[in-house]
Amino acid sequence: MTTPTPLLRLDGITKRFPGVLANDSVDFDVQAGEIHALLGENGAGKSTLMKILYGLYNQDEGQVFLAGEPADITRPSDAIQAGLAMIHQHFMLVPTLSVAENVALGLADSGFLVDTSSVADRISELSTQYGLAVDPESNVWQLAVGERQRVEIIKALYRDCRLLILDEPTAVLTPQEVEELFVILRRMADDSRGLIFISHKLDEVLALADRITVLRDGRVVGETKPEATSKEELARMMVGRPVQLTPDKKPSQQGRVRLAIEGLQVEGDRGRRAVNNFSIDVRGGEIVGIAGVSGNGQRELAEALAGLRPVTGGRILLDDTEVTGSTPREVRGAGLAYVPEERMRDGVVGEFTVAENLVLVDHNAEPYCRRGVLRMRNIAERAVTLVERFNVKTPTIDTITRSLSGGNIQKLILARELSAEPTVLVASQPTRGVDIGAAEYIHRRLVEERDRGTAILVISEDLDEILTLADRVAVMFEGRLMAVRDRAAVRVEEIGLLMAGSGA
Amino acid sequence: MSDFFTMASLVFVVGSGIRLATPFLLAALGETIGQRSGVLNLGVEGVMLLGAFGAYYTILETKTPVLGVLVGIGVGLVMGVVYGLVTVSLRAEQGISGIGIFLFGLGMSDLLFQKQVGTPLPIRGFDDWHIPLLSEIPKVGEMFFQHSVLVYLAFVLVPVVAFLINRTTFGLNIRAVGENPAAADSLGVSVARVRYGTIILANLLAGLAGAVLAIELGIFQQNLTSGQGFIAVALVYFGAWRPTGVMAGALLFGLVSATVLQWKTLGIVSGAASSITAMAPAVLTIVALVIITRTVGQPSALTKPFDRGS
């Protein structure tokens, strides 16, 4: 049997950025009717490869073939014309426009006037055909995350794409939404389209893909099929060494309540209530995980706990001391440490050196400062100790922090926060965008910290992370606490429903 | 004060308010198009001055108002290309580039005026066009339908610009590029091309606004616009990025200015007091801005250059 001409073939694609070889002679192909997963760590070169394919970057070497013919794709419009569509990790939608307008945007056959009504009709047809419920008239900003993704898929179907690239499409979905998405993707493949599914989630790749290619450091390190491999093997291929996916965890030794949140009310950026009558206790020696789809008040909750956002109602108690409305410094003084979700915005000063970022919290106290003058030697000594203790991979302690990888910056923040020996740790998205190796390390460190008796609140949109770490799982939806379950009693389906606001 | 509350006075205030609003309206409509695509142009004032001088000088030499208008528009077009090059192709910071354009226009228009003209000579513009029938309605006709053709043109442009933004393919591209340029780019819409288009339109209208100002006043002098271009930028915020809102702002501004003018004429205010009342329109705008910008979101990509790589 001869293999049919692949829909897409990438031949020896190489892309260099200053100081980095992002893609090193990558070969890759997709057959019609096939879902081909591209698996790799952050920075392995998956996104770069797909951006080359979609015309957002241009390769330095190599050739793209579409249906056997060499294709020069230098701009997104070339890619669209060739029947490619891409669903980006951060949705490429215009929130202020309607669904129909978003779909109509950039259509090649659009005349002088926008014919939204005929676009809307076609959207309705596609909705029915593929089971993608969405109202063409609604504005995108009003839609939930899952609906927005359906709009993205409709955009691709509307242009009758032959090849669809999906970049981490499940990152923001509930487990049920992931299942629904997989059904739709399979249906699209059955229409003899080709799909490229980019992910770093091993379970999903194994569940969905027909074929899996693993990328590491810009190179293809292997190609396999789901039935011929396992999670452990895929993880090893991604990282380049055996990986312990779940940290060893002893049963938790719970102490007394260290953090008590009582009826907390917090407003969001637009004045709308983001956290609504939220109450939970966290005991010393336990990890409470807060699961939820992004944008349900998690960020506001974390910021309120850290003293970064005003509280409009309710109380926060740290070891029986009320810290409601306290400043960040006071909250820290009361024993709380905080790992923020936006590490480059709230966690470190990117242009500062590693040593400077490590001393940020204590920079105005002995022994790092005397009479307003920084004592550089003490700061440097501490930096050397922490870098070593927390395995931060940096050339020197005087390296500019921005140049480190996400994982190492996160370890740096963790080092600074844990060096204060807090009684309570609030960690928001502790491993988002972090490579598996660093994530493994951070998870182990958090469990150690728990065993030391610290009360830990982990807020994460990654349900797997919550299930890995937490002793108790809480679900947050529209600012409210939907339910709290002991880890042992957790059923993933139930958590998924709670994340979507039902089943309470 | 009682002189102010007469019918004649009201007719004067409304009539001249509309007239005074016209340059603001034209410039602000252009700026609206630009800002909806994410481009802030603080150079409006400078382009207005250049357009004003271009129109003035052309009419002085040729005695043909239509040519003056065309030159004003042409000057705007050239400045639009320049601003596009600087802010789109070279991705320069928009605020600072705009101030540069303003200073260039301020200096250049005066230099040309001093070299080419020297002493201010009056020019003759368009005769007022009394719209048949409508202009004969007592009072109302006098207020609304006895203006220069340029005034009507400005107000006709309000629905035209609204239609352009809301109903055309180009308008959809403008809105998308102003809110999420990366999304537009990913669908094959050229962000650069859309922004060049809006910048050229915006500057074209600014040049026209300057021409209208010079023609209506029948004169040119140093800094003829005296801040009107900046007010026009503020009016875009005031009007919440909608042509009708911008028109309301321009009218309000024109009416308040006309009222102040009338007070001065009637001697209700004088001396220092009149200087202070002259600030009224500006103060009003600031107050309105504080209220409005709190409630309405501006285009998300405003002032942000687009770079595909980032």
Residues of B in contact with A96 (CB under 8 A): 175, 179
Interchain contact, A56 vs B172, CB within 8 Å? no
Q: Tokens representing B146?
A: 């006895």
The answer to whether residue A2 is domain-embedded is: no
Of B296, B175, B288, nearest to A270 by C-alpha is: B296
d(CA A391, CA A412): 9
- DSSP at A343: I
Among A54, A95, A104, select the one facing B179 at the smallest CB separation: A95
Q: Which residues contact B137 (CB under 8 A, 6 or more apart)?
A: B145
Residue A122: name the closest of A141, A150, A108, A103 by CA. Answer: A103
Enumerate the β-bridge partners of residue A40. A215
Is A106 close to B187, i.e. CB distance below 8 A?
A: yes
At B296 the pLDDT is 65
The answer to whether the Cβ–Cβ distance between A155 and B187 falls below 8 Å is: yes
Count of C-beta atoms within a 10 Å radius of residue B9: 17
Q: How far apart are CA B79 and CA B54, in angstroms?
A: 12
Residue A94: which of B179, B190, B309 has the nearest Cβ?
B179
Q: Could you report how far apart the first and last alpha carbons of chain B are, in Å?
A: 61
Whether residue A228 is found in the same domain as residue A277: no
CA-CA distances (angstroms) from residue A184 to A10, A165, A191, A420?
26, 14, 11, 49
- A300: tokens are 């506001």
How close is the nearest chain A Cα to the Cα of B19, in Å?
33
Residue showing tokens 């942000």: B304
Does B216 reside within a domain? yes
Which distant-in-sequence residues (6+ apart) come within 8 Å of B236 by Cβ? B28, B31, B32, B35, B246
* Whether A114 and B308 lie within 8 Å, measured CB to CB: no
> Which residue of B lies nearest to A93 if distances are taken between CA atoms?
B183
Domain end point (choices A239, A269, A287): A239
Residue A344 lies in a domain: yes
List the structure tokens of B299. Answer: 């285009």
Residue A36 and residue A109 share a domain: yes
| Tokens representing residue B194 in the block | 């859309």
What are the chain B neighbours of A93 within 8 Å (beta carbons)? 180, 183
Q: Per CB distance under 8 Å, which residues of B are interface residues toward A?
A: 167-173, 175-176, 179-180, 182-190, 300, 308-309
Contact between A114 and B185 using a beta-carbon 8 Å cutoff: no
Instruction: Please tell me whether residues A478 and A349 are part of one structural domain.
Output: yes
Name A15's bridge partners.
A23
In chain A, what residues touch B172 (CB-CB under 8 Å)?
Answer: 97, 101, 104-105, 114
Alpha-carbon torsion angle A379, A380, A383, A384, nearest 10: -150
Q: What are the pLDDT digits (tens) for B255-294?
A: 988 888 888 888 777 777 777 777 777 787 778 777 776 6
CATH number at residue B272: 1.10.3470
Domain enclosing residue B262, as ranges: 2-295
In a domain, A28, yes or no: yes
A275 and A229 in a common domain: no
Find, in chain B, the residue whose alpha carbon is nearest to that of A86. B186
Decide: A340 and A389 in contact? Cβ < 8 Å.
no
Contact call for A93 and B180, based on CB within 8 A: yes
The answer to whether B168 contacts A112, with C-beta atoms less than 8 Å apart, is yes
Q: Which residue intervals of A109-201 are DSSP H helices?
A: 116-130, 145-158, 175-190
Cβ–Cβ under 8 Å, residues A59 and A24 = no
Minimum distance, in Å, between the CA of residue A31 and any CA atom of chain B: 24
Pair A445, A345 in one domain: yes
B185/A76 CB distance under 8 A:
yes
Cβ contact B186–A92 (<8 Å): yes
Number of structural domains found in chain B? 1
> How high is the pLDDT of residue A1?
46
Give a yes or no: residue B302 inside a domain: no
Contact B301, B191 (CB under 8 A): no
Check: CB of residue A376 under 8 Å from CB of residue A356.
no
Regarding whether A467 and A326 lie in a shared domain, the answer is yes
Report d(CA B61, CA B69) in Å as an integer: 13
- Note whether A106 contacts B188, CB cutoff 8 Å: yes
Chain A partners within 8 Å of B184 (Cβ): 94, 105-106
Query: Does the distance separating the beta carbons of B173 and A105 come in below 8 Å?
Result: yes
**Domain match, A347 and A411 both:** yes
Q: Do A93 and B172 touch (CB under 8 A)?
A: no
Closest CB to B183: pick one of A92, A104, A112: A92
> Whole domain around residue A423: which residue ranges?
257-499
Considering the domain boundaries, does residue A111 fall inside one?
yes
Q: Which of A106, A108, A114 sits opposite B168 (nearest CB)?
A: A114
Rounded Cα gap, residues A54 and A48, in angstroms: 10
CATH code of the domain in which A360 resides: 3.40.50.300
**A54 contact residues in B (CB cutoff 8 A):** 186
Tokens representing A211 are 């074929």
Buried/exposed code over A472-491 (b: 16+ C-beta within 10 A; e: otherwise): bbbbbbebbbbeebebeebe
A90, A94, A140, A151: best mutation site toward chain B, by most B Cβ within 10 Å?
A94
- A183 and A278 share a domain? no
Residues A328, A469, single domain; the answer is yes
Q: How far is A106 from chain B (nearest CA, A)?
A: 5
- Please report how many Cα atoms fall inside a 13 Å half-sphere around the Cα of residue B164, on the Cβ side: 19
Q: Say if A77 falls within a structural domain.
A: yes
Under 8 Å between Cβ of A99 and B167: no
Q: State residue B150 phi and psi, 5-degree precision.
A: -65, -35
Nearest chain B residue to A108 by CA distance is: B188
Peptide bond into A242 cis (omega under 30): no
Strands A424-428 and A455-459: parallel
Length of chain B: 310
Give the separation between CA A312 and CA A481, rounded to whole angstroms: 17
The total domain count for chain A is: 2
- What chain A residue is nearest to B189 in terms of C-alpha separation? A106
B155 falls within a domain: yes
Which residues in chain B are closer than 8 Å to A92, comparing Cβ atoms? 180, 182-183, 186-187
Cβ contact B307:B91 at 8 Å:
yes
Does A3 fall in a domain?
no
| Token digits of residue A441 | 């390390």
pLDDT tens-place values along chain A, 504 residues long: 457 889 999 999 999 988 788 999 999 999 999 999 999 887 788 989 999 999 999 999 999 999 999 999 999 999 999 999 999 888 899 999 999 999 999 887 778 888 889 999 999 999 999 888 899 999 998 888 888 999 999 999 999 999 999 998 887 788 888 999 999 999 999 999 999 999 888 889 999 999 999 999 899 999 999 999 998 899 999 988 888 777 788 888 889 999 999 999 999 887 788 999 999 999 999 999 999 988 899 999 999 999 999 999 999 999 989 999 899 999 999 999 999 998 888 999 999 999 999 999 888 888 898 888 899 999 999 999 999 999 998 889 999 998 888 889 999 999 999 998 999 999 999 998 888 888 999 999 999 999 999 999 999 988 989 999 999 999 999 999 999 999 999 999 899 999 988 865
Q: Which of A239, A274, A291 is the last residue in one of the domains?
A: A239
Inside any domain, residue B301: no
Distance from the B245 Cα atom to the nearest Cα atom in chain A, whole angstroms? 18
Interface residues of A toward B, Cβ cutoff 8 Å, are 54, 56-57, 75-77, 80-81, 86, 88, 91-97, 101-102, 104-106, 108, 110-114, 155
CA A52 to chain B, closest CA, distance in angstroms equals 11
CA distances to B143, B146, B269 from B7, rounded to whole Å, are 11, 17, 20
- Full pLDDT tens readout for chain B, 310 residues: 567 778 888 888 899 999 999 999 999 999 999 999 999 999 999 999 999 999 999 999 999 999 999 999 999 999 999 999 999 999 999 999 999 999 999 999 999 999 999 888 888 888 888 888 888 888 888 888 888 899 999 999 999 999 999 999 999 999 999 999 999 999 999 999 999 999 999 999 999 999 999 999 999 999 999 889 999 998 998 888 999 999 999 998 899 888 888 888 887 777 777 777 777 777 877 787 777 766 667 888 888 888 876 4
**Torsion A385-A415-A419-A283 (CA) sign:** negative
CA distance A313 to chain B (A): 24
CB A178 within 8 A of CB A170: yes
Q: Are residues A92 and A214 in the same domain?
A: yes
CB pairs under 8 A between A and B: 71
From chain B, pick out residues whose CB is under 8 angstroms from the CB of A104. 172
> Do residues A173 and A261 both lie within one domain?
no
pLDDT at B294: 62
Instruction: Give the integer Cα–Cα distance in Å for A471 and A488.
Output: 8
* Integer Cα distance of A484 and A291 in angstroms: 10
For B135-169, the three-class secondary structure string (H helix, E strand, C coil) is: HHCCCHHHHHCEECHHHHHHHHHHHHHHHHHHHEH
pTM as predicted: 0.83
Distance from CA of A345 to the nearest CA of B (A): 17
B169 to A97: CB separation less than 8 angstroms, yes or no: no
Q: Across the interface, which of A80, A91, A96 has its CB nearest the CB of B175?
A: A96
Residue A145 is assigned to a structural domain of this protein: yes
Residue A1 maps to a domain: no
Cα-Cα-Cα-Cα dihedral sign, residues A80, A86, A92, A97:
positive
C-beta atoms of B186 and A104 within 8 A: no
